[in-house]
Amino acid sequence: MYLDHFGLSEAPFAGTEHSKCFFSGARRGAVLDALLYATRHSHGSIMVIGASGSGKSTACRMMLARLPAELRAIPLAGPVTREEILRAVEHDLSADLRQTLVLIDDAHALPVETLEEAWHLSEASADGRPALQFVLFGQPELHGLLARPELRQFRKSFCHSFTLEPLSPDEIADDLRFRMHAAGYRGPEIFSADAVKLIAGATHGLAGAVNELADKGLHSAFAKNNRRVTKRHIRSALRDSGSVPDRSSRSRFWRQVAGATLAGSVLVLALFGVWQKSGPLLSAAPSSMTVLPVAQPPLPVSPKMALPAETGKSGKLGAETLARIAATDQWLASVPDNHWFIQLMASDARNAAAIEDFVAAAIRQYGTDQVRVYVAESKGVRRVGIIYGDYPTRGTALSAAHRLPKLLHGIKPYPRKVQWMR
């Protein structure tokens, strides 16, 4: 065990159940304070959104630990059936008539009928105030779930929504320092700047993954009898866990997509070097390709704009492109206005074959869930845009864009808000 080696009284990253392990930086403490305030002064439902491993369960536990005496809580974890939630509520309400909070972790996994029942229960009142107030902790999919027509009224009942953003490299350094100190460490900085940077890149700033990798880094340093955790120890931990990024798949794809940049800031779609084992799909730029300056303002977008299969002299849009346009329309029908995506590129719709090759290659790498295509018209010219991802906040989208390989940064992918497409 490495505790004596580093002068620790307990494992710093083993668990987050105790309040002394709660890192209040990166707005975690502010979110918790806002949650507690909202439960005392608001009547509506509340949601806390964050990616898997962002710290939602920790926030839920801390909220339970800090609730004032005048409030009572019923903690549940999804998936919970309608019958289970009714039994839990009936049992607790019969024993205590105080205002009751129903805290549901992993709420994105709840069946629709359970959420419908939650809505009905939240509508019941005692002395003009809801007898039950729901606080849902869930992944971003919860937004889409609550957007279903049958849950429209329940969605309207939410008075507050909080988001747990990924940790930045500086916040990760603060978190590591905090946890080491809470575990009894009193020496000099133990995680080097390069180690923190690698942890940030490998974990995407998700608190749970940060803790796990930091713990493995400590073990690696201990095994080598080192007193400081460096980039070398984190790389070793990643190799041992099988988490080293596969340069032959995602990294290679984005590096080859980055081949779309020409001298400085000009994007030519046909030079997106998307390669297969048999060679590049696009080896040269057709003479008819239109160059689109990256600095050009965002294209206007209309999800209702129908693009016929015939797009010009160069032929028809391909089947994959048309399928992604249709899927994007469906996505727009349910995704919240305040979500964000990453704009990758746009090109003249007449470049149908090149667009089809790029879309098909992207789908092979990522599947159909994250790659989307839309159509816009600017000065009488139809263009096809390719976008990536679905993020609850600008911060998460910007963070994802920054994590793209450096070569891709030459085409300047940037976050855009969903409401701009409507």
With H, G, I as helix, E, B as strand and everything else as coil, classify residue 138: strand
Residue-wise pLDDT for 6-39, tens only, equals 888 888 887 555 445 666 666 777 888 888 888 8
Query: Which of 237, 245, 231, 244 is CA-nearest to residue 193?
Result: 231
Q: Are residues 122 and 267 in the same domain?
A: no
Single out the residue in 222, 241, 260 at which a domain terminates: 241
* CA 307 to chain centroid: 31
Whether 22 maps to a domain, the answer reads: no
Q: Are residues 155 and 132 in the same domain?
A: yes
Q: Which residues partner with 140 through β-bridges? A: none
**Can you read off the two tokens belonging to residue 13?**
């990253």
- In this structure, are strands 125-126 and 129-130 parallel, antiparallel, or unpaired? antiparallel
Whether 68 maps to a domain, the answer reads: yes
More confident residue, 46 or 296: 46
Single out the residue in 241, 260, 279 at which a domain terminates: 241
Q: Are residues 307 and 349 in the same domain?
A: yes
Q: How far apart are CA 110 and CA 169, in angstroms?
A: 33
pLDDT at position 62, please? 87
More confident residue, 290 or 341: 341
pTM summary value: 0.56
Whether 76 maps to a domain, the answer reads: yes
Q: Are residues 51 and 69 in the same domain?
A: yes
What range does the domain containing 315 cover? Answer: 250-421
Residue-wise pLDDT for 88-146, tens only, equals 887 666 555 567 889 999 999 899 999 998 888 887 655 545 568 899 999 888 888 88
pLDDT at position 399, please? 79
> What confidence category does residue 408 fall into, taking pLDDT thresholds of 50, 70 and 90?
low
Whether 318 has a pLDDT exceeding 80, the answer reads yes
Whether 21 maps to a domain, the answer reads: no
Question: Residue 415 region, left (φ>0) first, then alpha (ψ -120 to 50), else beta?
Answer: beta
Alpha helices in 269-381 (DSSP H): 319-334, 352-366
Count the Cβ atoms, other than its own, within 10 Å of residue 225. 7
Q: What is the CATH number of the domain that holds 139?
A: 3.40.50.300
Whether 356 maps to a domain, the answer reads: yes
Determine what percent of the chain is predicted with pLDDT higher than 70. 72
Q: Are residues 55 and 148 in the same domain?
A: yes
Mean pLDDT within 352-378: 79
Mean pLDDT within 160-171: 86
Give Cα separations from 78 to 64, 89, 377 (angstroms).
17, 15, 44
- In this structure, are strands 45-49 and 158-163 parallel, antiparallel, or unpaired? parallel
What is the domain count for the chain? Answer: 3
Q: Are residues 59 and 173 in the same domain?
A: no
Q: How far apart are the first and last CA of the chain?
A: 56
Whether 172 maps to a domain, the answer reads: yes
CB 133 within 8 A of CB 45: yes
Single out the residue in 115, 143, 163 at which a domain terminates: 163
pLDDT at position 312, please? 42
Q: Are residues 72 and 159 in the same domain?
A: yes
Query: Which of 105, 43, 96, 33 is CA-nearest to residue 70?
Result: 96
Residue-wise pLDDT for 219-277, tens only, equals 999 999 999 999 999 999 988 876 554 444 444 444 444 443 332 323 333 334 433 33
Give Cα separations from 396 to 73, 307, 355, 392 (angstroms).
31, 31, 27, 7
Q: How far apart are CA 218 and CA 226, in angstroms?
A: 9
CB 39 within 8 A of CB 101: yes
Whether 213 maps to a domain, the answer reads: yes
Q: How far apart are CA 299 and CA 420, in angstroms?
A: 10
Q: Are residues 338 and 371 in the same domain?
A: yes
Q: Are residues 174 and 159 in the same domain?
A: no
Q: How far apart are CA 232 and CA 284, in angstroms?
A: 41
Q: What is the CATH number of the domain that holds 174?
A: 1.10.8.60
Q: How far apart are CA 241 and CA 257, in angstroms?
A: 29
Whether 183 maps to a domain, the answer reads: yes
